[in-house]
Amino acid sequence: MSWLHTWTGLVPGWLLFIIFLFGTAAFFQSEINGWMKPELYSASVTRGVLDEAYAYLNEKAPHAARWSISLPSGRRPEPFTVSWRPQEGSSSQAGEAVLNEQSGREIAVRDTQGGYFLYRFHYDLHYLPQRWTRLAVSIAALAALVGLLSGIVTHKKIFADFFLMRFGKGQRSWLDAHNVTAVLALPFHLMIIYTGLVTLLFTMMPWAISAHYPSVAAFYEEMHSAGPTQEPAGEHAPLLPLADLTDRASRVWRGAEPDYIAIDNPGDAAAMVTIWPRNDAITGSPGKIYLSGVSGRLLHAAPQRGAATATEDVMIAIHAGRFSGPALRWLYFLSGVGGTMMIASGLVLWTVKRRARLLDPARPYFGFRLIERLNIGVIAGAPAGIAVYFLANRLLPLDMAHRADWEINSLFIAWGGLFVWTLARPAKRAWIEALAACALLYALVPIVSAATTTRGLVRSLIAEDWVFAGFDLVMLATAAACALAAWKVASHTPKAAPRRASREPTEATA
Amino acid sequence: MTDTAIFCLSLAGFAALLLAMPRHQDDWFGRKLTATTGRALRLSGLAALALAFFVAGTGFGWGYGAVAWFGWLTMAAVLVVTAHTHRERIMRKIRR
């Protein structure tokens, strides 16, 4: 069983490391969004906020075919966005604006993908066709599940060694670290890999759809019923206050909060308001509902979910952890850090174990060099890329064309650059320099943020702005961890393998 | 509040489970405890973890509570392992 664990872990290992690293960051997706859009502040959906949205849209696009309003959640700085789409054949343009939730005035928010990119990258990757990357991610996740289960079997003394972590013993310590990070967060690892496979269910097993539907699109059309459509009546009628409509929706949902509102034919007698709920319950969210904008009558509610869909919703909810409060979100994050470390320690262990057995340690064979180089370039390179992504968010000019794309490009340029640099250096120096670069880059993030925005660490601590303070503190903690790792590698003196040490003198005398 | 209770119970539970193992009794006490004491420690450790689950379920609802329980179990175990790994430094402080 040991060979199975070794190869199911090693072959997709670097991809799994990336998935875990970015996925772990994605637990704080909304918080990262907030930090990367420092123009935004936390706001709740109040009657006033909805009135402002209405006033703005009514002035800007009174004859639009559709208005849309994306609501803030109150817990995090989220954009309060309104958009409008003109009627077909009209000369006016579609548009979008981010509003200040207090003044109702338009504010300029920098162009960024924010935490959403980190989230998307953890299953879609980037620059490559989604179809193939999702398949690669699915296969890697399947291998991870096999690796995890075979790892439990290989480990054998899972309970006897439960509390065991021995430092300073070379290979033994790496094995202990791999075991401890795997076993202590084992429920999390099993859950996250299994439910991760569920989220990509139809990538791996598309046949349930292809056996019953003419196309994938037809399946999704039936899954997410389009709901009723309303033709404009051509008669003017005032829209009910939006707050009354969202109150009504919350009553139908038994308390769930509204997340997104679309208003078809605003100002017309046939105005229809569609309201989506916030997806933050462990059991998944109720369906969207359709109300008449003039009378408030319920036109249509999405049908009750079937048992299979409900099960899928719960699994996806547990995977993403969107329902969790601050404490549980941190537990998700820390367990994710454990998983990332489990994969990294496993990859490093492969080389540690084989280095002792190298015939000529100065010139290892190709496979060994390949894996060692990939380890350095991915394990120390990817985190550096993320730090540069955050730095680019603060440093790129605000009016740059394709700014959001360039933030993402910066991530990969930095990562690629560091990777190439490490290839040119001896392995141990490469580890030290790449980890030191990570430490430096992460330490720079709060400094650059304080210099380029008005929301630096000191100010956010004073203002008790926990999203910003927390983000900056996590950056500093990451910098400290990378610096510690670099220092540990630098001060590590490998114990000469006892066998070789004793053999060399005999060879010399012989 | 519920979070703190789950965490403290899990911490106590894992500490008891650690001390219920003869090899770790050597580490901490310099001798092995009797089989009866060991069994009592193991049972009380498991009982503390079960109680933590009950607290999580009643405090948060069983769905949310179960997820939170697993999370806190991991953190408690990490803390116990960390303390155990650095036991010599801790013991030196205690003796002084």
Token code pair at residue A361: 């340690």
What span, in angstroms and rounded, lies between the C-alpha atoms of A437 and A97? 39
Would you call B37 an interface residue with chain A, using a CB distance cutoff of 8 Å? Answer: no
Q: Is the pLDDT of residue A503 over 50?
A: no
Q: A195 in contact with B at a CB cutoff of 8 Å?
A: no
Across chain B, which has 96 residues, the per-10-residue mean pLDDT values are 95 96 89 92 97 96 95 96 90 80
Instruction: Give the C-alpha separation, A459 to A453, whole Å.
Output: 11
The rounded distance, in Å, linking the Cα atoms of A499 and A356 is 10
Name the pLDDT band for A496 (thresholds 50, 70, 90): low
Q: Does B57 touch chain A (CB under 8 A)?
A: no
CA-closest candidate to residue A336, choices A102, A28, A8: A28
Sign of the CA dihedral running A341, A343, A348, A350:
positive
Are the Cβ atoms of B70 and A188 closer than 8 angstroms? yes
List the single residue in A180, A283, A331 with the smallest CB-CB distance to B68: A331
pLDDT of residue A417: 97
Residue A501: what pLDDT?
41
Say which range, A191-205, A284-298, A322-336, B50-64, has the weakest mean pLDDT.
Answer: A284-298
Among A116, A97, A87, A117, which residue's Cα sits nearest to residue A39? A97
pLDDT confidence of residue A372: 95
**Cβ B72–A332 below 8 Å, yes or no?**
no
Residues of B in contact with A185 (CB under 8 A): 74
Strand partners, A298: A291
Residue A97 three-state SS: strand
Which has the higher per-residue pLDDT, A40 or B44? B44
B89 touches chain A (CB under 8 A): no
pLDDT confidence of residue A278: 87
Question: Three-class SS of residue B73?
Answer: helix
For residue B50, give the nearest of B42, B35, A404 by alpha carbon: B42
pLDDT-derived band at A509, boundaries 50, 70, 90 = very low
Q: Which chain A residues contact residue B7 at CB under 8 A?
A: none
Are A282 and B63 inside 8 Å of each other by CB? yes
For chain B, how many helices (H) and strands (E)? 5, 0
Q: pLDDT for A439-483, tens place per residue?
A: 999 999 999 999 999 999 999 999 988 999 999 999 999 999 999
pLDDT at A92 over 90: no
* pLDDT > 70 in chain A, percent: 96
Q: Does A27 touch chain B (CB under 8 A)?
A: no
Residue A332 contacts B where some CB pair is shorter than 8 Å: yes
Residues 6+ apart with CB under 8 A from B54: none
User: Out of A184, A282, A323, whose CB is closest to B81?
Assistant: A184
Decide: helix, strand or coil at residue A85: strand
| A260 Cβ under 8 Å from any chain B Cβ | no
Beta-carbon separation of A184 and B68 below 8 A: no
Instruction: Decide if A185 and B74 are in contact by the 8 Å CB cutoff.
Output: yes
* Rounded Cα gap, residues B55 and B64, in angstroms: 12
Residues A282-303 have a mean pLDDT of 86
Residues from chain A contacting residue B75 (CB–CB below 8 Å)? 331, 334
The answer, for A185 touching chain B at a CB cutoff of 8 Å, is yes
CA distance A392 to A404: 10
Q: How far is CA A32 from CA A291, A333, A334, in A?
A: 34, 13, 16
Whether A419 and chain B come into contact, CB under 8 Å, resolves to: no
Residue A309 CA: distances (Å) to CA of A303, A312, A436, A462: 12, 5, 47, 46
Contact B67 A324 (CB under 8 A): yes
Mean pLDDT confidence for A261-272 = 91
Round the average pLDDT of chain A to a whole number and report it. 89
Among residues A249, A269, A265, which one has the least CA distance to residue A257? A249
**3-class DSSP state of A301:** strand
Distance CA A289, CA A300 (A): 6
User: For residue A300, which of A267, A275, A320 has the smallest C-alpha distance?
Assistant: A275
pLDDT at A329: 95
Among A16, A5, A31, smallest CA distance to A332 is for A31
Average confidence (pLDDT) over A265-289: 87
Set of chain A residues whose Cβ sits within 8 Å of the Cβ of B14? 163
DSSP bridge partners of A275 = A261, A289
Say which of B17, B63, B71 has its CB closest to residue A331: B71
Written as one string, the DSSP assignment of A250-286 is HHHTTSPPEEEEEEESTTBTT-EEEEEEP---TT-PP
| B43 at A interface, C-beta within 8 A | no
The reply to whether residue B75 touches residue A328, judged by beta carbons under 8 angstroms, is: no
SS3 call for A75: coil
Strand partners, A273: A263, A291
- What is the chain A residue with the closest CA to B77? A184
A191-221 tens-digit pLDDT: 999 999 999 988 888 888 888 888 888 888 8
Rounded CA gap, A506 and A509, in Å?
A: 5
B-chain residues near A178 (CB < 8 A):
none
Name the amino acid, one letter, at A324.
S
Contact A184 B78 (CB under 8 A): yes
CB distance A167–B74 less than 8 Å?
Answer: no
| In the predicted structure, residue A488 carries a pLDDT above the cut 70 | yes
Smallest CA–CA separation between B78 and chain A, in Å?
7
Show Cβ contacts of residue A504 under 8 Å, excluding neighbours closer than 6 positions. Answer: none
Residue among A7, A5, A353, A348 at smallest CA distance from A153: A5
Which neighbouring-strand residues pair with A244?
A: none
Which token pair is A34?
A: 């907030």
Residue A233's pLDDT is 84
Closest chain B residue to A192, measured at CA: B67
Q: ∠ CA(A410), CA(A431), CA(A413), 5° rounding?
A: 10
3-state helix, strand, coil in chain B (%, to 5): 90, 0, 10
Are B85 and A165 a contacting pair, CB within 8 Å? yes
Task: Tell me the residues of chain A between 122 and 161 that have a Cβ less than 8 Å away from chain B.
Answer: 160
In the block, tokens 């849209």 appear at A57
For residue A278, the distance in angstroms to the closest alpha carbon of chain B comes to: 17
> Is A334 within 8 Å of chain B by CB?
yes
Chain B CB contacts of A328 below 8 Å: 3, 64, 67-68, 71
Q: How far is CA A105 from the centre of its chain?
A: 31
Asked if residues A148 and A8 have their Cβ atoms less than 8 Å apart, the reply is no
Give the closest-approach CA distance of A159 to chain B in angstroms.
Answer: 10
Question: Which pLDDT score, from 0 to 100, does residue A495 have?
Answer: 62
> Does the distance separating the beta carbons of B75 and A332 come in below 8 Å?
no
| Phi and psi torsions of A85, nearest 5° | -130, 125
Query: Between the ranges A131-135, A292-296, A356-360, A414-418, where is the mean pLDDT highest?
Result: A414-418
For residue A433, the model assigns a pLDDT of 97
Q: What is the residue whose two structure tokens read 């954009």?
A: A79
Per-residue pLDDT band for A44 (boundaries 50, 70, 90) equals confident
pLDDT-based confidence at A88, cuts 50/70/90? confident
DSSP alpha helix (H) spans, A324-453:
326-355, 366-375, 381-395, 403-423, 427-452
CA distance B85 to chain A (A): 6
How far is C-alpha A463 from the geometric centre of its chain's CA atoms? 27
Residues in a beta bridge with A277 = A258
Instruction: Pick the residue of B14, B23, B70, B72 with the most A CBs within 10 A to test the interface with A by mutation.
Output: B70
pLDDT at A46 over 80: no
The pair phi, psi for residue A87, each rounded to 5°, is: -70, 150
d(CA A185, CA A336): 9
Question: Per mean pLDDT, which range of A289-303, A318-332, A472-486 is the poorest?
Answer: A289-303
Phi, psi of B72 (to 5 degrees): -70, -35
pLDDT tops 80 at residue A15? yes
Mutation pick from A184, A319, A337 vs chain B, by most beta carbons of B within 10 Å, is A184
